[in-house]
Structure 1
């Protein structure tokens, strides 16, 4: 098994929805929603890639670091690599339906369990999607974080209670799903959340709260002040609002403002171990990866997801040796290219 073979198979199984490009950069699939592309012109998806590309690493080899430690700790749980499976749903509409929601959730959860990292499950307009992720967490025993869309406060609390029963280690809200027209048109409320509402949710759930979709210092501070334990700097993979900034462009200021108050995670365009190291060097404690795991699943199932995660881990390990980085608390300096 190699990555080119996995991509080739995925391209066949996702025909018409994803090209499984050599580099998943949002250019070929711009505007393809349903599908795996970015919304509108696709510029927000592309901006994520461009933002990561602007950062440079220093090559260092005159040192004694031969076996860097790539393990991390999230909410007291040790994970073998600082890479987390992002919440992904909507396989029929966005990936063609070769895999069902249940099949993908189970294989992704099993892969994360075997690799020793965190699995995040998602939510969508289909009411069956959220329970599928909970079932995967319960059946596999993976370290899991289910995410709800920004529904009513009452609905979110109910979903958090279900997550607790399934054995989740934390609970998240995709706050950047506030304008999802498909959900609104199907009669399901989604909308922005005020600081007061976030506090109400925090006070009424028995799990640490993660807010995904934070792109400004102002909202990162609101999340911290409201009692959330973590944020994910994210523009939803460029799928909700056209022409946003790339996540690597806004991450440093957010970490500077709230990094000592709240756990900061990030997603958006991360494709390799070098990309992971850049994001960690910009202050993130771990990263989320979405689309490549979906491609892997369609190109070889659980084994291909594990292959990809191991590939990223090996790339990170190598990059840490070549930058003189002994562990994730001593990440190298990065420099912004002109």
Structure 2
């Protein structure tokens, strides 16, 4: 058997764009024959997947799954919204979300290495999807929520299929109250989170750097107002207090009535059933948030193809 040298691996990688470990494996499977290895990678869909890997994938689906006191959420990206309607892609998102739930997996790399229901690993199944669907796809992130007693409820906005859509939310309610009480409350709270996009559960939990930036903006506005220093300081403190209130879930006004703070909604629900209900936390995924999308000029693309 031919020696699998670094130079051979590099040559195969340069010619196919496949991953280094995939190239090494291909060469090992084919006795160091580069041409045979290229064909081997193509039959496995690995070369085709690698060529698509540079494309921006900011569409796709957020998947959610719950099981009583536990819930999982994943984001799987694709290049176009059309793929979100593809049954094969939807099936993959559903399966991966269930894998995350079963294994309590919060790390995308760990999830990628986990066993896929149909065989192989999640990453291998994703690679096969890329090859057959024809678009770059990526497993971006995963989240798990759990409570000792109570429920974790889920909601998806702009659902493309049951349990998957453009925005996914998990809400954790801890209580001895029954699921018949907690599930509807959790669903309403999850819908609120989807709409209001709180940044933290409590005002004190807001990111310190975010508060510092807001304070700097408030101080600049106060300085420009020409007010005396003591009044300006109160303006800044008032502005920060307002920012904390409007961006923390428990102090936000419930979207269902527009007037009751979420904390009071939860407390009232507990009082009605004679049991304490605690909103322990939430997780919200919005598809593609934070991914820099490529802006395309359709007219320019058509002109380029036409040679204009």
State whether TM-score is above 0.5: no
> TM-score, normalised on structure 2?
0.21
> TM-score, normalised on structure 1?
0.20
**Which structure has the larger Rg?**
2
More strand as a share of residues? 2
More helix as a share of residues? 2
Q: Which has the higher contact order (CA 8 A, sep 6+)?
A: 1
